[in-house]
Amino acid sequence: MKPYREMSREELLSLKADLDKQFEDAKGKGLKLDMSRGKPTPAQLDMAMGLMDTLNSDSEMNTENGMDTRNYGLMDGIPEAKRLMADMMGGVPAENVIVYGNASLSIMYDTVSRSVTHGVLGSTPWCKLDQVKFLCPAPGYDRHFAITKLFGIEMITIPMTPEGPDMDLVEKYVFEDPAVKGIWCVPKYSNPQGISYSDETVRRFAALKPAAEDFRIYWDNAYVVHHLYDDKQDEILEILSECEKAGNPDMVYEFASTSKVSFSGAGISAFAASKANVEEAKRFMTIQTIGHDKVNQLRHVRYFRNLDGIKAHMRKHADIIRPKFEAVLAVLDKELGGLGIGEWTRPRGGYFISFDAMEGCAKAIVAKCKEAGVVLTGAGATFPYGIDPKDSNIRIAPTYPTADEMAEASDLFVLCVKLVSVEKLLEA
Amino acid sequence: MKPYREMSREELLSLKADLDKQFEDAKGKGLKLDMSRGKPTPAQLDMAMGLMDTLNSDSEMNTENGMDTRNYGLMDGIPEAKRLMADMMGGVPAENVIVYGNASLSIMYDTVSRSVTHGVLGSTPWCKLDQVKFLCPAPGYDRHFAITKLFGIEMITIPMTPEGPDMDLVEKYVFEDPAVKGIWCVPKYSNPQGISYSDETVRRFAALKPAAEDFRIYWDNAYVVHHLYDDKQDEILEILSECEKAGNPDMVYEFASTSKVSFSGAGISAFAASKANVEEAKRFMTIQTIGHDKVNQLRHVRYFRNLDGIKAHMRKHADIIRPKFEAVLAVLDKELGGLGIGEWTRPRGGYFISFDAMEGCAKAIVAKCKEAGVVLTGAGATFPYGIDPKDSNIRIAPTYPTADEMAEASDLFVLCVKLVSVEKLLEA
C-alpha cells in the first residue's frame, strides 16, 4: 500500500469507506481490552511468590549487624537492603542510599514537598519564591508532572531525542534561569519511549552549571534492570559518580524501586544521592517517620540475595512480557509500515511503546479505540499539563494483557490510526 | 522516713553524705540500662511471629473484593484492613478509614505538611499565613512537637489534668485565636502520663467552636488497645461520632497503628476522618503515591482476623510488660513514698510512667542517672521546644528492659531523685 499522503482524494474516500466498515465490524466484536496500564501481569507477580516463603515464624529476623528488623530503629534502611538497592542502581556506594517503603513515587513527592517548605541544603524554601520551574522532557511520565503541577511549579517541556532530552535546551535553561530548580528524568528505557540516555547525554547532565544552587536532577531510574532481551541491553552511565567527577556531587537525586521487580503493591524503594543530600533527607526523616518496613526489606534481601538474583528474576519477567511487545510491534510493522501515518519506538526494555501519530490525531485515535472497547492511556498524558502540543503521542502499555489480547488490541489500534489519519487527510 | 522538706539542714547534710556514698557504690556497679525507649521488648515481637506464617507462596493473595494485593491499585487500603483498623479505632465506619504504611507518624507529618503547602479543604495554605499555632498538651509526645516545630508552627503548652488537657484553656485559645490550627492529643493512655480523656473532655473537644475553619484535632490514638490489666481498663468516647453529633464532623483527624501491636518496624497504620477529610487526603494520595504495602495489610488481617484477635494478642503483651511497670512502681512507692520529693502516675495502659520531681530537679536527675549508667529520656523532651518550664517531668519507659533490669534501674533512679532533691533543698 502506498503512503496515505500520496493518495488522491478518491483513493482516500474509498479507503475510508472500507475502514469505516472494518471499524463497524470491530465494534461488533464487543472487545474489552486495556493497553493503558503500566503494570505487571499476574504471571510476573506469581514468579515472586517465593518472597512469601523467605520469612516464617522460625526465621532469624536480625540484620547482618544484629539489629532486630521487627523493632524501631535503622530509620534509613537495613544495611543489606541498602547494598542490594545500591547495586541495582548501577553500583552506587551503599552509604549513599536510603531504603524506603514500597513506592519510589512517594520519595519523589516528599523530596519536592520538602524543597517547597524547607528549601534544599539551606536554600530559600521554594514556597517563598515567586517562581519555580521544572524542566520536563516529554513525552514523559504523567505522575512526575502531576507532582510538580500540584506544587504550582511551572513546567517547561523539553523535547526528547533518541539520545535523551534535548541537551542544548536543557543546558540553556539550567544555565540561564535561576528559577529552574529541577528536571524530571527517566534515564533508562524511558517512559514512554524506551529511550536510554547516551553517555554523552549523561555526561552533559553531570556537567551542568546551574544558575540555581538548589537545582537538582530527579533521576528516576525506574527501569534500571528491566531489559526485554538477553542480547540487546542498554546500559547507562552511573550518574552519581559522573556528577562527582564533574564537580557537582550534590546535583542529583536518584530513585528506584522493586515495584516492577517483586510486587508493585509491596516492594521496596530507594533514594541515592551525595552524602550531603542523604544527610539532609535523614535529618527530616527523624521527624517524619519511625522508618520504613524493615521486615519487607529483609524479605527482599533474603529472596533476591544480590544483583545477580535480581537479574535472573528479571530475565523471567522478560520472557513473559517480550512476546507482548513483539505482538504489538508485529502488528504495527505489518499494518502501518510505509504508510507514513505513524512512527513508533522499539524499546529494548521498560514498560511501554511510544507511538506518534500524525499531528492532531492522537486524541481522536484514543477516542476511536475506546468506542470499540480498547482503552489506551489518555492522549496528552505524557506531556506537562496533559497537553501534547502536537496531539500526536500515544503511550502503549503491553505488559498486563496476554500476547493474544495485545495482538487483538493492536489490530484495533492500527485500524483506528488508519481511519483517523484518512479523516485528517480528507479534512486538509 | 520523714518528708525531706521537714528535715533540718543537719539532717539533710547527713542524708546527703549517706546518699553520696550509695551513689558512688552504684556507679561502681557499671550499670548499662535504658529506661528511655518506648519500644516493645523482643518477647512481645516474638508473639507476633505467626504473622510471618500467614502468607506463603501458596496463599490466595486477593482481597475479599477480588483485587490482587501484589499489584497496583486500592490506594487507600484493602477493605478488610480498613475494617480491622476501623474496629481498632473504637468502631469508626470503615469507609472513613485510609490504611497507610508502617508509621502513623508519617501520616501526621504528611497531614501537617499538606496543610502548610495546600491548606485544609480549600483554606489558605499555612505557608501563606503570618502565624500558625498549635496547642500542645504537655507533658506530651516529643515527636508531635518536633513536627510542628519543623514547620515553624508556634506551640502553646496546655497543662494536663487527670481528665485530659485543661479544656478551659483549650476552649479559650481555639475560640479566640484564628491562628490556632490544631492540637496534638494522645487521648488514651497518654504519652507519658497514661491519662485517658474523660467523657466530658472528649465531648468538650467535639463541641469546640474554632475561630479557624481549618482547625483540626490531631487525635493520635496510639495506645487504643494497649491495656495493662484485664480488669482495669480505660475506654474513651469515639471522637468521630462525637464530633459529628456536635455538628463538627470535619474537625478531627484520627491516627492509629499496629506498631506496638504487631511489629514496630513492620506494622500497618491508619487515618480516620470525615468523608470530606478522607476525600481530600485521597485526592493528594493519587499524586503522592501508588498506595501502601497491601500485602502487609493482608498479612495483618489474616493473622489477627478481627478486633477480638487483636485484643487477645494485646493481653499477651500486657502479661509481659505489666510486671515491668509494677517493678518500677514498687520501687517508687517503697523508696519515695511520703518523702514529698516526687509524684508519679499509675497508668492502666500505654508505654510510660510519668514522674514529676521537685521543681528544677529533672535535668539533674537525668544527668545523675546517666553518670551511673542508666539512660532516661532527656528531661524537657515531653514539652514543646524541649523546655519543661518547671524542669520537673521525667518520662520512664519500662517496656524494653526485663523486669529485673527495670527494678535495678529504678533503684538507681530513686537514689538519684533523693540525692538531687537533697542538694536542691540544701541550696535553698
Would you state the pLDDT for residue A37? 87
Label residue B100 by pLDDT band (50, 70, 90): very high
Give the residue carrying C-alpha cell 519523589. Answer: A108
Q: Is the pLDDT of residue B428 over 90?
A: no
Least CB–CB distance from A57: residue in B49, B73, B117: B49
Give CA B303 to chain center in angstroms.
Answer: 25
Q: What 8-state DSSP symbol labels residue A410?
A: H
Q: What pLDDT, on a 0 to 100 scale, did the predictor assign at position A106?
A: 97
Distance from CA of B56 to the nearest CA of A (A): 4
Q: Which residue of A52, A112, A145, A268 to mutate against B (max B Cβ within 10 Å)?
A: A52
- With a CB-CB cutoff of 8 Å, which residues 248-307 of chain A face chain B? 259, 263-266, 284, 286-296
A52 contact B CB<8A? yes
Instruction: Check residue B149 and give its pLDDT.
Output: 98
Tell me the average pLDDT across B48-61: 97
Tell me: the pLDDT tens digits for B330-387? 999 999 999 999 999 999 999 999 999 999 999 999 999 999 999 999 999 999 999 9
Query: Testing the interface with B: which of A49, A105, A289, A292 to mutate, by most B Cβ within 10 A?
Result: A289
Q: With a cut of 50, which residues of chain A have pLDDT below it? A: none
> Are A290 and B259 within 8 A, CB to CB?
yes
B158-167, pLDDT tens digit by residue?
999 999 999 9
**Confidence (pLDDT) at A159:** 97
Q: Per-residue pLDDT tens for B280-308? A: 999 999 999 989 999 999 999 999 999 99
Q: Do B106 and A56 touch (CB under 8 A)?
A: no
Hey, is the C-beta of B14 within 8 angstroms of any chain A C-beta?
no
What pLDDT shows up at residue A243? 98
Q: A134 has which bridge partners?
A: A155, A182
Provide the edge-to-edge strand list for the sheet that holds B133-138.
B97-100, B269-272, B252-257, B216-220, B180-185, B133-138, B154-161, B164-165
CB contact under 8 A, A59 and B52: yes
Residues of A in contact with B101 (CB under 8 A): 101-102, 292-293
The C-alpha atoms of residue A117 and residue B370 are separated, in whole angstroms, by 37
Grid-cell match 540475595, residue found: A305
How far, in Å, CA of A121 to CA of A276, rounded?
8
Place of cell 501491636: B261
Residue contact B296–A105, C-beta within 8 A: no
Dihedral sign, Cα of residue A169, residue A144, residue A400, residue A404: negative
Round the average pLDDT of chain A to a whole number and report it: 97
- Asked if the Cβ–Cβ distance from B266 to A294 is below 8 Å, we say yes
pLDDT higher than 80, residue B133: yes
Tell me the CB-side half-sphere exposure of residue A289, using CA atoms within 13 A.
Answer: 28
- List pLDDT tens digits, range B205-249: 999 999 999 999 999 999 999 999 999 999 999 999 999 999 999
Contact B371, B377 (CB under 8 A): no
Query: How high is the pLDDT of residue A415?
Result: 98
Contact between B295 and A263 using a beta-carbon 8 Å cutoff: yes
CB neighbours of A360 closer than 8 A, spacing ≥ 6?
A: A390, A391, A392, A424
Which residue reads 503541577 in cell numbers?
Answer: A149
Dist. CA A8–CA A160, nearest whole Å:
34
Alpha-carbon distance A57 to B297, whole Å?
A: 18
Beta strands in B168-232 (DSSP E): 180-185, 216-220
Phi, psi of B132 (to 5 degrees): -130, 135
Give residues with Cβ within 8 angstroms of A419, minimum separation 6.
Answer: A16, A19, A20, A23, A368
CB-facing half-sphere around the CA of A1: CA atoms within 13 A: 17
Instruction: Say if residues B367 and B382 touch (Cβ distance below 8 Å).
Output: no
A100 contacts: CB under 8 Å, gap ≥ 6: A77, A106, A107, A268, A269, A270, A271, A292
Contact A109 B287 (CB under 8 A): yes
User: Nearest to residue B128, comparing CAs of B187, B181, B70, B89?
Assistant: B181
Closest by CA position to B111, among listed B339, B269, B320: B269
Residues of B in contact with A50 (CB under 8 A): 57
Q: How far is A49 from chain B (nearest CA, A)?
A: 5
Whether residue B72 and residue A265 make contact (CB cut-off 8 A), yes or no, is yes
Q: Closest partner residue to A292 among B102, B150, B294, by Cβ?
A: B102
User: Residue type for A206, please?
Assistant: A
Best CA proximity match to B66, nearest among B78, B75, B58: B78
At A1 the pLDDT is 77
Mutation site, B264, B302, B317, B351, interface A, largest A CB count within 10 A: B264
The CA distance from B339 to B2, in Å, is 6
Q: What kind and span of H or E run contains A270?
A: strand A269-272
Is A40 an 8 Å CB contact of chain B?
Answer: yes
pLDDT band for position B1 (cuts 50, 70, 90): confident
- Closest Cα in chain B, distance from residue A41 (Å): 8
The residue among B188, B307, B183, B185 whose CA lies nearest residue B237 is: B188
When pLDDT is averaged across residues B17-44 and rounded to a whole number, the result is 95
Report the largest interatomic distance among the alpha carbons of chain A, rounded to a whole angstrom: 78
Q: How far is A103 from chain B, CA to nearest CA, in Å?
A: 6
- Using CB atoms and an 8 Å cut-off, which of residues 362-381 of chain A contact chain B? none
What ranges make up the beta strands (E) of B237-311? 252-257, 269-272
Residue B216: the pLDDT is 98
With an 8 Å Cβ cutoff, are A290 and B116 in contact? no
**Binary contact (A68, B39; C-beta < 8 A):** no
CA-CA distances (angstroms) from residue A138 to A63, A218, A227? 42, 14, 22
List CB contacts of A41: < 8 A, sequence separation 6 or more. Answer: A320, A321, A399, A400, A401, A402
Q: Which residue on chain A is closest to B102 by alpha carbon? A: A293
Chain A residue with minimum CA distance to B50: A57
B271 touches B107 (CB < 8 A): yes
Contact yes or no for A270/A90 (Cβ under 8 A): no
How many other C-beta atoms are found inside a 10 Å radius of the C-beta of residue A428?
Answer: 8
- Angstrom distance (rounded) from CA A187 to CA A218: 10
Distance CA A378, CA B166 (A): 54
The pLDDT, as a whole number, for residue A356 is 98
Compute the mean pLDDT over every residue in chain B, rounded to the nearest whole number. Answer: 97
∠ CA A65-A68-A70 to the nearest 5 degrees? 145
pLDDT value of position A417: 98
Residue B254's DSSP bridge partners are B219, B272
| DSSP state string for A133-188 | EEEEEES--HHHHHHHHHTT-EEEEEEEETTEE-HHHHHHHHHH-TTEEEEEE--S
Tell me if residue A196 falls in helix, strand or coil: coil
Closest CA to B398 of B311, B314, B323: B323
Q: Do B39 and A72 touch (CB under 8 A)?
A: yes
**What mean pLDDT do residues B119-126 have?**
97
The residues pairing with B253 across neighbouring beta strands, listed in sequence order, are B218
- Give contacts of B45 with chain A, Cβ < 8 Å: 61, 68, 70-71
CA A258, CA A409: separation in Å to the nearest integer?
28
